[in-house]
Amino acid sequence: MHWLMNTLFYFRFSRTTFACFLSILLLFISNQIKAQLTVSAVKDTVSTCLKANFKIKINTNAPTGATFSWNGPDGYVSNEQDASINNLTLSGKGVYTVTVKSGGQSATATSCVKLNSISVAQIGGFTDICVGQNLQLRDIEDRSGKEQPLAYFWSGPDNYTSTAASTNIPTTEDLRQLGKYNLTETFDNGCMVTASLIPTITKCLSIGNLVWQDMNNDGINNNGESGLGNVTVRLFKAKIEGGIPTNIPDGAAIQTTTTDAITGKYTFIDLVPNSYIVEIDTPLGYSSSVGVNGSTTGVYEPSNKANDNINDDDDGTMIAGQKIRTNYITLSNFGEPQNDGDTTNGTTADKNSNLTIDFGVYRIPVPICSTEPKCSPLLVRKIN
């Protein structure tokens, strides 16, 4: 008791000792009221894919200097705060546990890694198109209620690349857009799915189709008038000036054919949206239909009706060199006449075929002499 009295007396009168005592007392109190150490996984379950690279992240109130100890499937160990998983294998799925230690306290948390079921990608959209249309491709897989892609990457012909969700590629006559298109979709944790497709790109348009003998020279194919066979027919592109098509051919003929020997019909196929001119060699002894019998001019000579989509009328005009040529005709995908007798698959009118480009020709009358030639009497001599 005497010793205690002396100690209290000493603490009472020694400032230095009192300060030390107070510090120890405050530390003791602080330790008693210190918050409990906690840790929890940001995600109780991590759904990912094979070969994924990802982190299992935690929330904790651990102070600086705390230690972390992870263990998991396939002998996994780590001392990082957040566990890093690289190139996940099938044996790597399961429960991962972290233990946090600080100031004599410890806390644990777990997270379960499982393999997800991300659906494969399926490329769809406009996969069968005509030259002149845009190639619009996209992933048509139904992901309703499922994980959505975070990023897209397309690659394809003509060095095409894109990071958009879908493509919108103009197609050209040289068909350089034709080939395989590849799509890679990236999901959370680096999971990826891929798909490929070779779309169909076709030169859909065609033009035709008749050269006929216009017996009455009225410019209309009527009264059972028949076609003329073996007539040479040429197709040109129309020259464009200031963005407007003209009636002048742009260079040499791009296709040449002859009319059918029996029907007198012709067709040019594999065409793209553009303006064209059709020309024929005038059959020997014929001229272009006029529209007025017995005249050299009329409603069909010269003719400016080629681009009117009217069938069975004369669309040609005589030019130098015994040729008959149309004005320009503009073709567009799915914009051609449907009343010209053509069909698609034998059932519906073909909107990509223009069979109204016809040529009426009439036989030039042979002049008849107005007077008979004078003849000398025929002398016959009898020979013995």
Q: What are 244-282's pLDDT values in tens digits? A: 999 999 999 999 999 999 999 999 999 999 999 999 999
Give pLDDT tens digits for 66-75.
999 999 999 9
pLDDT for position 168: 97
> Average pLDDT, stretch 118-124?
88
Which pTM was predicted? 0.71
CATH number for 123-202: choose from 3.90.245.10, 3.40.190.10, 2.60.40.10, 1.10.8.60: 2.60.40.10
Q: For the chain, what is the mean pLDDT?
A: 87
- Please determine, for residue 117, whether its predicted confidence score (pLDDT) is greater than 90: no
Task: Report the candidate in 52, 59, 99 with the shortest Cα–Cα distance to residue 79.
Answer: 99
Q: Which two tokens stand for residue 311?
A: 């069938």
Q: Which two tokens stand for residue 122?
A: 């399926």
Asked whether the beta carbons of 151 and 165 are under 8 A apart, the reply is no
Asked whether the beta carbons of 306 and 315 are under 8 A apart, the reply is yes
> CA–CA separation, 20 vs 184, rounded Å?
68
- Please determine, for residue 13, whether its predicted confidence score (pLDDT) is greater than 50: no
CA angle 280/285/288 to nearest 5° reads: 45
Q: Which two tokens stand for residue 41?
A: 């996984």
**What's the fold here for domain 39-115?**
Immunoglobulin-like (2.60.40)
| Largest separation between any pair of C-alpha atoms in the chain | 198
Q: What is the CATH number of domain 205-363?
A: 2.60.40.10
Beta strands at 205-213 and 232-241: parallel, antiparallel or unpaired: unpaired
Ranges for all domains in the chain classified under CATH 2.60.40.10: 39-115, 123-202, 205-363
> Average pLDDT, stretch 346-358?
86
